[in-house]
């Protein structure tokens, strides 16, 4: 086992290459291959690359997971594909449906781990919240996932399988119905700490699923891994949400320990680079969990307004979602309103997140899945990714 510190090159935390990219694998899970990778595999097999596109259409536009059903491919090709590839659909452990229609699925992974995926239908949109890691090593003090520790990165295939599973379970036609209009990497884990698997997953979401997701409808939420914010902009430039949660370094060091590595000034510089040259309406959403008596005072709101003044920013206040053994409490509604008013008076676009699915522990930060043999590790107080 080696320990890769967050220090240094992005590759240090990108984790191992997803299984899907190791072309020597005998049975590659097709959920893990983006268009270019699949075309390359078809070329290696001596098959016309356009066939790769046909296969992807069966999987991501028609929701099929069996080669037998791919009727525009010859019998010979279908059996060659079955010998080299698999389409491994996830195994459902439990499904819970909230009074507000939110659905939470616990999906089993190899090795006894399980992750959680949440579907949130709302007026005019339907958001799927997906996981990127089993647990999380970032150790934010107010997050239930952090309490689980970190086990491993998800592969691209495991990320994509969540979306495919949700679309199939919701019973929609992948092509014609907007069963899923938005995807947010806000489930278990820090997506930018698993960049090597998350990037191809984003490409598959944008290029191949039939929902017609634009990059504005895919949101990567991060606790602030600065080098990867820059990489994301260069590579796919999706919508970005930043978990800020505090207006000064002293408090953020305590709530979001990665701040000790990438303090607020560095983080906001990366955010400025992310929005540079874009339409002013392209905001970064700054998430701010409202913790009673901790970060919810008028002084905090004034500091936050000063910090974000002049930036393409929208603040999303998230009422804290409690979990067993937490030391925090949710801010009082009056405190949240007063906080929002201070920001709005300073012309900062501010919304308060409606808590969804909390009766089934499916709200932000409540996802725990099942994390086997936790390997959370710390180096000088900075969480490290273990691989």
Ligand X SMILES: C[S@@+](CC[C@H](N)C(=O)[O-])C[C@H]1O[C@@H](n2cnc3c(N)ncnc32)[C@H](O)[C@@H]1O
Q: Which residues are annotated as a binding site for S-adenosyl-L-methionine?
A: 189-190, 221, 243-245, 321
The verdict on 13 binding ligand SF4 (CB under 6 A) reads no
| Phi, psi dihedrals of residue 120, rounded to the nearest 5° | -125, 95
Binding site feature residues? 136, 140, 143, 189-190, 221, 243-245, 321
Binding segment toward ligand SF4, per CB under 6 A, in 3-11, 24-32, 46-54, 143-151: 143-151
**Could you say which of 138, 180, 268, 315 contacts ligand SF4 (CB under 6 A)?**
138
Q: Show contacts with ligand X in window 100-129 (CB under 6 A).
A: none
Catalytic residue, candidates 7, 116, 122, 234? 116
Tokens of 189: 């884990």
CB of 373 to ligand X, least distance (A): 21
Among 20, 114, 126, 136, binds ligand SF4 (CB under 6 A): 136
Among positions 6, 14, 161, 289, the unique one binding ligand X when judged by CB under 6 A = 289
- Tokens at residue 1, please? 């086992």
Q: Does 223 bind ligand SF4 (CB under 6 A)?
A: yes
Indicate whether 142 belongs to the interface with ligand X (CB under 6 A): yes
Give the burial class of 158: count Cβ atoms within 10 A of its Cβ; 0-12 exposed, 13-18 middle, 19 or more buried: buried
Q: Answer yes or no whether residue 243 interacts with ligand SF4 by CB under 6 A.
A: yes
CA 58 vs. chain centroid, Å, equals 25
Partner that binds at residue 364, options ligand SF4, ligand X, none, CB closer than 5 to 8 Å by kind: ligand X
Enter the tokens of residue 24.
């020597």
* E strand segments, the chain: 3-4, 28-29, 85-86, 91-97, 103-108, 114-122, 125-129, 133-135, 150-153, 182-185, 218-222, 239-243, 284-290, 313-319, 349-352, 377-379, 382-386
Active site residue 116: yes
Q: 3-state class of 56 per DSSP?
A: helix
Q: Which residues contact 386 (CB under 8 A, 6 or more apart)?
A: 1, 2, 3, 4, 137, 150, 375, 376, 377
- CA–CA separation, 238 vs 231, rounded Å? 11
Work out how close the CB of 364 gets to ligand SF4 at its nearest, in angstroms, rounded to a whole number: 8
By C-beta, is 21 or 153 nearer to ligand SF4? 153
CB of 326 to ligand X, least distance (A): 7
Among 156, 194, 219, 243, binds ligand X (CB under 6 A): 243
Angle at which helix 35-44 crosses helix 50-60, to 10 degrees, equals: 130
| 129 is an active site residue | no
Q: How far is residue 223's CA from residue 243's CA, in Å, rounded to a whole number?
A: 5
The catalytic position among 129, 158, 287, 364 is: 364
Nearer to ligand SF4 by C-beta: 37 or 321? Answer: 321
- Does the CA dihedral 138-140-141-147 come out positive or negative? negative
CB of residue 273 to ligand SF4, shortest distance in Å: 21
Taking CB under 6 A as the binding criterion, the range among 78-86, 135-143, 226-234, 348-356 that sits at the site for ligand SF4 is 135-143
190 is a contact residue toward ligand X (CB under 6 A): yes
Whole-angstrom Cα distance, residue 271 to residue 253? 19
3-class secondary structure, 377: strand
C-alpha distance across the termini of the chain, in Å: 6
Between 42 and 185, CB nearer to ligand SF4: 185
Nearest in space to 276 (alpha carbons), one of 330, 240, 329, 319: 240
The least distance separating ligand X from the CB of residue 54, rounded to whole angstroms, comes to 35
Binding site for ligand SF4 (CB under 6 A): 136, 138-140, 143, 145-146, 189-190, 223, 243
Task: Just list the catalytic residues.
Answer: 116, 364
Residues lying near ligand X in the complex (CB under 6 A): 142-145, 186, 190, 221-223, 243, 287, 289, 318, 320-321, 364-365
């Amino acid at each position: 086992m080696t320990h890769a510190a967050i220090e240094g090159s992005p590759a240090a935390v990108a984790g191992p290459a997803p299984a899907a990219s190791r072309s020597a694998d005998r049975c590659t899970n097709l959920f893990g291959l983006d268009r270019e990778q699949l075309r390359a595999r078809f070329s290696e097999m001596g098959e016309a690359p356009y066939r790769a596109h046909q296969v992807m259409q069966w999987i991501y536009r028609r929701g099929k997971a069996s080669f037998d059903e791919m009727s525009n491919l010859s019998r010979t090709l279908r059996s060659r594909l079955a010998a080299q590839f698999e389409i491994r659909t996830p195994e459902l452990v439990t499904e819970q449906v909230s009074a507000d229609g939110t659905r939470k699925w616990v999906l089993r992974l190899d090795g006894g781990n399980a992750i959680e995926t949440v579907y949130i239908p709302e007026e005019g949109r339907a958001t799927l919240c997906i996981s990127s890691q089993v647990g999380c090593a970032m150790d934010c003090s107010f997050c239930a996932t952090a309490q689980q520790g970190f086990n491993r990165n998800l592969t691209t295939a495991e990320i994509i399988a969540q979306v495919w599973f949700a679309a199939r379970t919701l019973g929609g036609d992948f092509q014609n119905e907007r069963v899923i209009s938005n995807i947010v990497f806000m489930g278990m884990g820090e997506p930018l700490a698993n960049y090597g698997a998350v990037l191809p997953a984003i490409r598959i979401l944008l290029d191949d699923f039939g929902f017609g997701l634009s990059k504005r409808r895919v949101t990567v939420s991060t606790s602030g891994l600065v080098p990867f914010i820059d990489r994301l902009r260069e590579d796919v430039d999706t919508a970005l949400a930043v978990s800020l949660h505090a207006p000064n370094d002293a408090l953020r060091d305590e709530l979001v320990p990665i701040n000790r590595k990438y303090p607020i000034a560095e983080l906001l510089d990366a955010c400025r680079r992310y929005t540079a040259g874009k339409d002013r309406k392209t905001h970064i959403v700054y998430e701010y969990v409202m913790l009673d008596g901790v970060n919810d005072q008028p002084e905090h709101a004034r500091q936050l307004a000063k910090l974000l003044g002049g930036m393409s920013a929208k603040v999303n206040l998230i009422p804290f979602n409690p979990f067993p053994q937490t030391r925090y409490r949710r801010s009082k509604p009056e405190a949240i309103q007063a906080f929002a008013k201070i920001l709005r008076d300073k012309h900062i676009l501010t919304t308060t997140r409606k808590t969804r699915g909390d009766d089934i522990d499916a709200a932000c930060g409540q996802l725990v899945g099942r994390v086997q043999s936790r390997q959370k590790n710390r180096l000088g107080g900075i969480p490290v990714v273990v691989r």
